[in-house]
């Protein structure tokens, strides 16, 4: 719609926002009218109309099999559009049109904003299935007529009341029509069923909806006056009412076809099961986060015990082995700590990588600087945990073997995400400028425990590849190539 309006019309951005607000609401008008809606806007030179939006009803058959958006019609070909635009009134005159052997009644509703007519809504009703209307259909049509007059007067949609149609109640979910005092004139079967779910034992017709709703809602004090007002439809609002029997979502729409409120529409939907599932998901998420938090605490306890044991050992080799174990346990604890703060099983690994680098850098024998370049991105938990251990082992190996006691140098961790979303790859390079690899060293056969852990995790759990080669200038380069899911 933005492209069509800016390409063909002279409407301003504020006018376009008004049309967007209208289009976000007009499913309501379409369903109440049992009719298709097409929004026509005059072109910049005033010689044609361009259709910028279309809506089909959920309550009846469509009168347009084709998509009308983008069609251009010369002025004069559709007299009802011309009359509505020029005279600023709803035009219903004329005989039905025949489209593919289907009779269609056409009406035109001017779209007004601040005294100016921006365009015209063509309301097209398929007459092929017309029958004697029921009380429900008559209420729908009367409500649609009131809304159409409000659109023509510029009082609907309501400014500042952007509606999410996916989450809001629809006409078919349940409808209650109120008079100016908030007394129920008509309640659809679905609407009545929703109030029965709340605990109402009688009929709704003739009852004051605000008072009944306040009585059904649990309260420990006086009647909630705000709830009475909301349920009586005095202002355009959405709200929920919850009691022992269930949860009902309501949306109030004041009807002011001639500027004075004559009543209200209240759309309502039973969302009891939806809210129950949402609570279950929230509870499940909280439980998962609590589990990660407890695992992190347990791992930190294990690390503390190993650290205490290392301090009591006389053997330097044994003490160092325990300190390595402390760092391995710590890397896993970092991942679980991050997972305990997230709503899903995915983590931003850059933060984890930085903490692992800082943790391992504490063992640096000399003035060695560790830094990270590039971005790991968001990773699944099943990738993040083994990758944190791999990164710990590779960095630990570089700091222990690449530099002497008093030497200075640099260890750089580089990460690059690439590949298609279906076959994403993460390429990690850990490069130092130390002494380099020993003569005849084979990383695939080396018996070092750290390298064995790296090979097992990379090739077994991560399904990636691991390489260790001399750096282009000086030092050693470790290359890890790991398949990962798309970084959403």
Does an H or E element contain 38, and which? strand 36-42
What is the per-residue pLDDT for 3?
A: 95
DSSP category for residue 76: T
What is the per-residue pLDDT for 343?
A: 65
Residue range 98-154, pLDDT digits in tens? 887 888 999 999 999 999 999 999 999 998 876 678 999 999 999 999 999 999 999
Residue 54 pLDDT level (bands cut at 50, 70, 90): very high
What is the per-residue pLDDT for 448?
A: 74
What is the per-residue pLDDT for 8?
A: 95
Residue range 216-226, pLDDT digits in tens? 887 644 446 67
Those residues whose C-beta lies under 8 Å from the C-beta of residue 258, and which sit 6 or more positions away, are: 149, 153
| Token output for 22 | 């209208």
Instruction: Report how far apart, in Å, the C-alpha atoms of 40 and of each of 48, 50, 85, 336, 382 are.
Output: 10, 5, 10, 56, 53
What is the per-residue pLDDT for 419?
A: 61
> In this model, does residue 363 exceed pLDDT 70?
no
Q: What is d(CA 69, CA 473) in angstroms, rounded to the nearest whole number?
A: 62
Residue 74's DSSP bridge partners are: 48
Picking from 466, 478, 463, 295, the residue whose alpha carbon sits closest to that of residue 380 is 463
Those residues whose C-beta lies under 8 Å from the C-beta of residue 168, and which sit 6 or more positions away, are: 238, 249, 251, 267
In 232-346, where does DSSP find H-type helix?
A: 272-311, 316-339
Higher pLDDT, 312 or 153: 153
| Token output for 392 | 């710990």
What is the per-residue pLDDT for 9?
A: 94
Mean pLDDT check: name the lowest of 42-46, 194-198, 216-220.
Answer: 216-220
Q: What are phi and psi of 348, to 5 degrees?
A: -80, 105
Gyration radius of the chain over CA positions:
34
Q: What is d(CA 233, CA 158) in angstroms, rounded to the nearest whole number?
A: 14
What is the per-residue pLDDT for 16?
A: 95
Q: What is the DSSP string of 117-176?
A: EEEEEEEEEE-TT-----HHHHHHHHHHHHHHHHHHHT--SPTT----TTTS--GGG-EE
Residue 406 pLDDT level (bands cut at 50, 70, 90): low
Mean pLDDT check: name the lowest of 71-85, 375-389, 422-436.
Answer: 422-436
> In this model, does residue 304 exceed pLDDT 60?
yes
The average pLDDT across 262-285 equals 87
Residues written for the chain: 488
Sheet with 175-179: list strands edge to edge: 184-187, 175-179, 263-270, 247-255, 237-242
What is the per-residue pLDDT for 420?
A: 52
Burial of 278 (0-12, 13-18, 19+ CB in 10 A): exposed
Report percent pLDDT > 70 for the chain.
93
Tell me the range of 4-13, 164-173, 339-348, 408-417 where mean pLDDT is highest: 4-13
What is the per-residue pLDDT for 422?
A: 47
> In this model, does residue 162 exceed pLDDT 70?
no
Sheet with 476-483: list strands edge to edge: 367-374, 408-418, 425-432, 476-483, 465-470
Q: What is d(CA 175, CA 178) in angstroms, rounded to the nearest whole number?
A: 10
DSSP category for residue 1: -
Report strand pairing: 408-418 vs 367-374: parallel
| Token output for 63 | 């009168």
Residue range 413-463, pLDDT digits in tens? 999 987 655 458 899 999 988 888 888 777 777 767 788 888 888 988 899
Residue range 137-148, pLDDT digits in tens? 999 999 999 999
Picking from 415, 432, 431, 398, the residue whose alpha carbon sits closest to that of residue 482 is 415
Higher pLDDT, 452 or 266: 266
């Amino acid at each position: 719609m933005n492209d069509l309006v800016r390409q063909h019309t002279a409407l301003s951005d504020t006018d376009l926002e008004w049309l967007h607000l209208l289009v976000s609401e007009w499913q309501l008008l379409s369903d109440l009218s049992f009719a298709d809606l097409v929004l026509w806007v005059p072109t910049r030179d005033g010689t044609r109309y361009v259709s910028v939006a279309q809506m089909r009803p959920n309550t009846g058959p469509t009168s347009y099999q084709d998509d009308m958006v983008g069609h251009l019609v010369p002025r004069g070909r559709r007299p009802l559009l011309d009359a509505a635009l020029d005279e600023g009134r709803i035009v219903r005159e004329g005989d039905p049109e025949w489209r593919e052997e289907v009779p269609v009644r056409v009406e035109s509703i001017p779209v007004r904003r601040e005294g100016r007519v921006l365009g015209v809504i063509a309301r097209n009703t398929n007459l092929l299935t017309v029958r004697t209307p029921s009380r429900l259909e008559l209420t729908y049509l009367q409500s649609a007529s009131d809304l159409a007059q409000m659109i023509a007067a510029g009082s609907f949609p309501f400014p500042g009341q952007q509606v999410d149609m996916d989450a809001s109640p629809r006409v078919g979910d349940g409808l209650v029509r109120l008079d100016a005092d908030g007394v129920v004139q008509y309640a659809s079967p679905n609407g009545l069923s929703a109030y029965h779910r709340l605990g109402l034992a009688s009929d709704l017709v003739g009852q004051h909806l605000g008072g009944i709703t306040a009585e059904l809602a649990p309260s420990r004090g006086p009647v909630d006056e705000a709830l009475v007002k909301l349920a009586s439809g005095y202002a355009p609002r959405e709200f929920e009412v919850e009691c022992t029997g269930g949860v009902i979502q309501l949306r109030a729409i004041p009807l002011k076809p001639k500027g004075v409120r004559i009543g209200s529409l209240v759309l309502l939907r039973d969302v009891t099961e939806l809210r129950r599932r949402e609570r279950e998901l929230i509870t499940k998420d909280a439980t998962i986060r609590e589990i990660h938090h407890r695992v992190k605490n347990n791992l930190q306890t294990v690390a503390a015990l190993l650290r205490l044991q290392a301090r009591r050992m006389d053997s330097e080799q044994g003490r160092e082995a325990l300190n390595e174990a402390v760092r391995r346990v710590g890397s896993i604890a970092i991942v679980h700590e991050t997972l305990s703060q997230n709503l899903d099983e995915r983590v931003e690994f850059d933060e984890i990588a930085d903490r692992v680098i800082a943790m391992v850098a504490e063992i640096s024998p000399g003035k060695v600087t560790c830094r990270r370049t590039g971005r790991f991105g968001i990773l699944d938990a099943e990738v993040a945990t083994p990758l944190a251990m791999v990164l710990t082992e590779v960095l630990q190996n570089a700091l222990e073997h690449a530099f002497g006691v008093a030497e200075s140098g640099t260890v750089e961790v580089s990460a690059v995400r690439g590949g298609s979303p279906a076959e994403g790859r993460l390429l990690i390079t850990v490069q130092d400028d130390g002494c380099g690899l020993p003569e005849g060293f084979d990383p695939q056969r080396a018996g070092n425990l750290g390298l064995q852990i790296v090979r097992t995790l990379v090739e077994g759990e991560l399904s990636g590849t691991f390489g260790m080669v001399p750096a282009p200038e000086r030092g050693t380069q470790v290359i890890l190539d790991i398949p990962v899911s798309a970084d959403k």
